[in-house]
Amino acid sequence: MIRRLDGGAEGRPERAWIEVGTADELRATGRLVARVGGREVGVVWDEARGTAHGLRNRCPHSGAPLCLGRVRNRESGLPGSYALAGERVLRCPWHGWEFDLESGRCLDDPALRAAVYPVEIAGGLVRLQV
Ligand code: FES
């Protein structure tokens, strides 16, 4: 579900905190997505670490809805011999490229980076600073 949180870019202060849903929804679905001022943003939930991460819901590779990807451990190695690298990543749902949850850096193409946003969870609500 995508929430529409405003009627457009006009009148919205820069870097405002916006509510994108509840903590219960985030934990249950793994993600929250909202449209703010003409762009989609989202929060993904890392169940293994109990952390929330805000990103733009657009993959910088080819425009996939990045927040619909899976949060998982980064794998490294060669075909037939994979190992967990320990890094938690968001895997794009279209081509599987992986993005660092903290920085948005693409681990498969260092020239690409997904926009990231601060997230806070308080009083059962999830807020994103965009
Ligand atoms: S669109 Fe995300 S990796 Fe291609």
**CA angle at residue 35 from 29 to 36, to 5 degrees?**
130
101 Cβ closer than 6 Å to some ligand 1 atom: no
* C-alpha 102 to ligand 1 mean position (Å): 18
Predicted pLDDT at 87:
86
pLDDT tens digits, one per residue of 104-122:
999 999 999 999 999 999 9
Question: Predicted confidence band at 11 (pLDDT cuts at 50, 70, 90)?
Answer: low
Pocket test for ligand 1, best of 94, 106, 109, 113 (most atoms within 8 A of CB): 94
> Domain-by-domain residue ranges, the chain?
2-129
Give 82 or 103, the one with higher predicted confidence. 103
Task: Name the residue of 55, 56, 62 to mutate for ligand 1: max ligand atoms within 8 A of Cβ.
Answer: 62
CB 97 within 8 A of CB 63: no
Ligand 1 atom closest to the Cα of residue 59 is 2
Fold (topology level) of 2-129: Rieske Iron-sulfur Protein (2.102.10)
For the beta carbon of residue 95, count every other beta carbon within 10 angstroms. Answer: 11
pLDDT (tens digit, 9 = 90+) per residue, 23-61?
999 999 999 999 998 999 999 999 999 999 999 999 999
**Identity at 126, one-letter amino acid code:** V
CA 56 – CA 51 distance, rounded (Å): 17
3 lines ligand 1 (CB under 6 A): no
Question: What is the widest separation between alpha-carbon atoms in the chain?
Answer: 54
